[in-house]
Structure 1
Amino acid sequence: MQDSIIYCMVPKTYWEKWMDKDHYLPRDYEQEGFIHATKGDELLEKVANRVYAQFDEELYVLVVDETKTTSEVKYEAAKDGLLYPHIYGPLNQEAIVDIKQMNRIDGQWRLGTSIR
C-alpha cells in the first residue's frame, strides 16, 4: 500500500448519488465538518466492523490518494486513541484512485476487490 492511500467507507446506494459529481460529501458532513477516513487495511476492517456492524446493504470503500485531495487532510486522535485522517472539505473525484467492495465473511467486514 502506498503511504498516501487512505480509505473512506460509503454505502453503495449513497455513493451512486455522488459518483457522477466532481466531488463527494458524506451524509454526516454538515454535522461533523469533515470526512472520516482510515489508513491501512487492518484499521479499515476494524472500523467497518464497529461502525457498520448492523449494516446489511452493500458497502464500498473509496481509495483516496491524499496527495491528490484539494481539501486539507489532518490526522487527529479519536476516542480510541488512534490517529485517523480527516478530510476538511469536499473530496474531489481526482483523488479517488479506486473503489473497492467490502465483503461480509463469517459476519465480519473484509476488504474486497476493486469495482472500477
Structure 2
Amino acid sequence: MIYKLLTTTEWDDALAAGHFEGTAADRQSGFVHLSGADQVVETARRHYAGATGLTLLTVDPDRLGVALRWEPSRDGALFPHLYGPLPVPAVVAADALPADRPAADAVAALLG
C-alpha cells in the first residue's frame, strides 16, 4: 500500500467529486505526491508538523495503473508520484488523524 496525507476537507471534496486532484503543492509539482509505508511518517513530520484536521489515505497502487511512477525525491529515495487525479475507488482506507497528537505520531500509530 501507499499513502497520502491531506486535509479532511480535501478528502470530503474528493469523495463528492469521485477523485482527488491534489493539494496546492501537488498541483504546483504537476503530480500527486504519495509515500510508501517506510516514508509516510517522515512526510508527516516534514510537511504536516502542527497541522490538524488531517486524513491519512491508504491507496492500493494496483488500482492506479500507468499514471503511478516511482521517482527519486528526498535524498534520492524513490517516491510514488501519481500523474493524474487520485480516483476514490483506489483508496482502501481513510483515517482521520486525532487533533491532539502530532501528525507523525498519529500516522506511526495507525501503521503500527
TM-score normalised to the size of structure 1?
Answer: 0.79
The CA RMSD over aligned residues, in Å, is 2.1
**Paired residues, what number?**
107
Alignment of 1:1-116 (within 5 A): 5-28=1-24, 29-40=26-37, 42-55=38-51, 57-70=52-65, 72-103=67-98, 105=101, 108-111=104-107
Stretches of structure 2 lacking an aligned partner (at least 5 in a row)? none
Where 1:80 maps in the other structure, the secondary structure is helix
TM-score by structure 2 length?
0.81
1:25-73 CA-partner distances (Å, limit 9, x unpaired): 1232431110000011x42111101101132x21111111011125611
More helix by share: 2
Compared with structure 1, are the counterparts of its residues 44 and 107 closer, same or farther at alpha carbon in structure 2 (3 Å cutoff)?
Answer: closer
Q: Is the 2:58–2:91 contact (alpha carbons within 8 Å) kept by the matching residues of 1?
A: yes
**Are the equivalent residues in 2 in contact too, given 1:70–1:92 (CA < 8 A)?**
no
Flag the structure with higher strand content. 1
Q: Which runs of 5+ in 1 are unaligned?
A: none
